Amino acid sequence: MTALLLKRVRLEESFEYTNEQIVATNTGIYDVLITNDVITEIAPQIEVADDIEVFDAQCQLLLPAFREMHIHLDKTYFGGEWQAPSIATNGIQTRIDEEKILLPKQLPTAAFRAEKIVQMLIAQGHTHIRSHCNVDQQIGTKHVELVKEVLEKYRGQITYDIVAFPQHGLLKSEVLPLMKEAMQLGATLVGGVDPATVDRDIERSLQQMMDIAVEYNAGVDIHLHDGDTLGAFEIKKLAALTKEAGKQGHVTVSHAFALAGLEQSPLNELIAQMAEVQMDVTSTVPIGLKSNTIPIPYLWENGIRVSVGHDSLVDHWSPFGTGNTITKLNILAERFRYIDEYSINRTWKYASGGITPLNDAGERVWPKVGDAANMLLLDGVSTAHVVARRCPITTVISNGNIIHQSSIELKGVYR
Contact residues for another protein, defined by CB under 8 A: 21, 23-24, 81-87, 102, 287-289, 292-293, 314, 318-320, 322, 330-331, 333-337, 339-341, 344, 380-382, 384-385, 388-390, 413-415
Smallest distance, another protein to C-beta of residue 415, A: 7
Alpha carbon distance 115, 102 (integer Å): 19
Alpha carbon distance 169, 31 (integer Å): 52
Smallest distance, another protein to C-beta of residue 25, A: 9
Cβ nearer to another protein, comparing 345 with 352: 345
Cβ nearer to another protein, comparing 26 with 278: 26
Smallest distance, another protein to C-beta of residue 99, A: 12
Smallest distance, another protein to C-beta of residue 367, A: 22
Smallest distance, another protein to C-beta of residue 255, A: 16
Cβ nearer to another protein, comparing 36 with 86: 86
Cβ nearer to another protein, comparing 209 with 381: 381
Smallest distance, another protein to C-beta of residue 340, A: 5
Smallest distance, another protein to C-beta of residue 146, A: 22
Cβ nearer to another protein, comparing 43 with 287: 287
Cβ nearer to another protein, comparing 239 with 391: 391
Cβ nearer to another protein, comparing 339 with 369: 339
Is beta strand 280-283 parallel, antiparallel or unpaired with respect to 66-71?
unpaired
Smallest distance, another protein to C-beta of residue 317, A: 8
Cβ nearer to another protein, comparing 241 with 351: 351
